[in-house]
Each structure stands twice: as structure tokens, then as C-alpha cells.
DNA sequence: CAAACACTAAGGCAAGTACCTTATTTTTGT
DNA sequence: ACAAAAATAAGGTACTTGCCTTAGTGTTTG
């Protein structure tokens, strides 16, 4: 019945999935994720391929860190970043679950069509 | 070496993956995707659970449609929406590929540690 | 044909985003 | 102790988003 959602005004991205997908919607941040698959990397090295100012790049890292996709640790004067996988898994799981849902529906639809088509041929 | 990215200013979300993840970063839009797994639904029915004005809801549908996650068709006075799967698959594939990349790295790391640990025990 | 229905267009607003530049802080290396 | 390196803080600008309201445009239905 009336299962209302989002009754009151909320910040733009509030739940973890919102934050994760928002983080992944930027090519710079996706590239960072890709790069970190290889292991830990300090900020300057991570930033090197990108043609943006370091503070701008750091903001991207902050977005990734705040939504739990990466973690970082200061060692001496540089900060090392690494991937955190569970948040990424969460987002992936959402997508896979959705995909399974519509795949399941299409399977049932196909089964139904096969059956009715069969009856059509019989009748 | 200098594989520079994003040299010139670009619109916020330019490639299909940017658009898809951006679209998925909103809970209303994710709920629409979930709902459409069941099949085609007209806008008003789709909008019913949400406590926002219809024009606001329509904007969400537009975002989903413009990035290729849904399609819609006008029949009489209502517009029917349905899922479009390839764009969703694209995004899912990106995530699965990334996951495989770091899973692979962790496997190799584990193999390496096993080997060195083995040598350590032998020596 | 008029009223109701299902959107759609247009315009407005507060908040958020993605960049920037210019300090400032912290940590080496000499 | 001093200069260079690696961030970080602070503040600014242009654009985007997510909502709103009000006013249309077509499409049934009585």
C-alpha cells in the first residue's frame, strides 16, 4: 500500500550505496580504484597521470575514503592509499541482485510463452 | 609514461559509465530500476510510492532514460517505462572486472607468501 | 464538448560538485 | 637549522542537481 519513501528532505547522498555509486560516477575516481587494484600507492604517485591540481585530486581521494572505497595511512610525509573491498562488494552485489531479478523474470516469461505456444500448437 | 587524462574541462558526467553510475547514485532512481525488473509500468504507477511532485519524479526518469538504463513509450495518455539491460550490464561488468583484478592480485600475493613461507620452513 | 487524467515545459531556489589558487603544516635530506 | 617535498586548509567560481510551483499539451471519458 502506501510504502512511502524519502518523506523528508535528505542530503543528496545519504546511504552507503548512494555514496558508493556517486563516487564511481567520476572517471578520475574510477581510475584511482583501478590503479589501487595493484596495491598500495602514495598520493603523489597516484595523482601523477592526472592533469589536475593536487588539492583537487585530494578531494577525489576524500570522496573515495568517506564512502569507504579506499583507506589511507600517513607514513612520513606521504599518504598511502589502498582499496577497501566490502563497500565495493556491496555495490556490486546490488547490481548482481538486480540483474538476477530481471533475468529470473525473463526466464519465467519465456517458460510461460513456451507453454502457451505449445498449447497453441496442440489446440 | 605521461598518459594524461581529462586535459580539458569536460561536462561533469560525460562517458556512459559516468552517467550510469550517477544515475544509480540516487535511491529513487535505484528503486525505479528495482521496480522495473517486474516489467513495464506507467509513470504514475511508478511514481505512486514516492512523496515527491510528479515533475520531480519525471526528471529522475529522464536521467535514467538519457543514460540508457530505461526506455519509455507513450501509449494513449500514459507513458510506459521498461528496463534496458545492456547499459546496466556495462556498469556491472566494470565492477566485476575490477573485483577480478584485485582478487587476482590477492591470489598471487597469497601464492607468493605460501612459497616464501614454505622456504622459510625448509631453511 | 467539458472535465478529468497523465504527463510536460518552464522557471526558480538552495545545496552540492569539481575545479582553481594561495597559504600553511609536517616531514625529510643536507 | 633550512630548503624541498608532500600534503592540507581555506576560500573562490562556474556549473549541476534535486527539489519545488505554476502553467501548459495531449488523451480519454461521460
Residue B12's pLDDT is 78
Å from the A38 CA to the C9 C1': 49
B118 CA to chain A: closest CA distance, Å?
A: 23
Instruction: Provide block-wise average pLDDT over 10 residues at a time, chain B (123 residues).
Output: 40 88 98 96 97 97 98 97 96 96 80 67 41
Q: Which cell numbers in the block locate residue A58?
A: 585530494
pLDDT reported for residue A117: 66
Architecture of the domain defined by A16-122: Orthogonal Bundle (1.10)
The pLDDT assigned to A7 comes to 39
Contact list in B for residue A99 (CB cut-off 8 A) is: 85, 88-89, 92
C-alpha separations of B1 from A28, A48, A84, B4 in Å: 17, 10, 27, 9
Burial class (CB in 10 A: 0-12, 13-18, 19+), A67: buried
Q: CA A76, C1' D3: Å apart?
A: 17
Mutant choice from B2, B15, B26, B113 vs A, greatest count of A C-beta within 10 A: B26
Positions 50-79 of A with beta carbon below 7 A from strand D are: 54-55, 58, 61, 74, 77-79
- Does residue B99 contact residue B47 with C-beta atoms inside 8 Å? no
Angle value at C-alpha B36, between B35 and B41, nearest 5 degrees: 100
Mean pLDDT by 10 residues, chain A (123 residues): 42 87 98 95 97 97 97 96 96 96 81 68 40
Contacts of A31 in chain B (CB under 8 A): 5
User: Nearest 5°: phi and psi at A2?
Assistant: -85, 70
Residue ranges of the domains in chain A? 16-122
Amino acid at each position: 500500500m502506501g510504502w512511502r519513501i524519502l518523506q523528508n528532505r535528505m542530503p543528496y547522498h545519504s546511504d552507503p550505496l548512494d555514496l558508493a555509486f556517486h563516487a564511481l560516477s567520476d572517471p578520475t575516481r574510477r581510475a584511482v580504484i583501478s590503479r589501487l587494484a595493484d596495491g598500495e600507492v602514495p598520493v603523489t604517485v597516484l595523482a601523477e597521470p592526472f592533469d589536475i591540481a593536487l588539492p583537487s585530486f585530494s578531494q577525489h581521494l576524500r570522496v573515495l575514503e568517506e564512502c569507504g572505497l579506499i583507506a589511507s595511512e600517513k607514513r612520513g610525509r606521504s599518504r598511502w592509499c589502498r582499496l577497501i573491498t566490502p563497500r565495493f562488494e556491496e555495490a556490486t552485489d546490488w547490481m548482481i541482485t538486480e540483474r538476477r531479478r530481471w533475468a529470473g523474470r525473463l526466464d519465467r516469461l519465456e517458460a510461460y510463452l513456451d507453454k502457451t505456444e505449445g498449447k497453441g500448437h496442440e489446440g
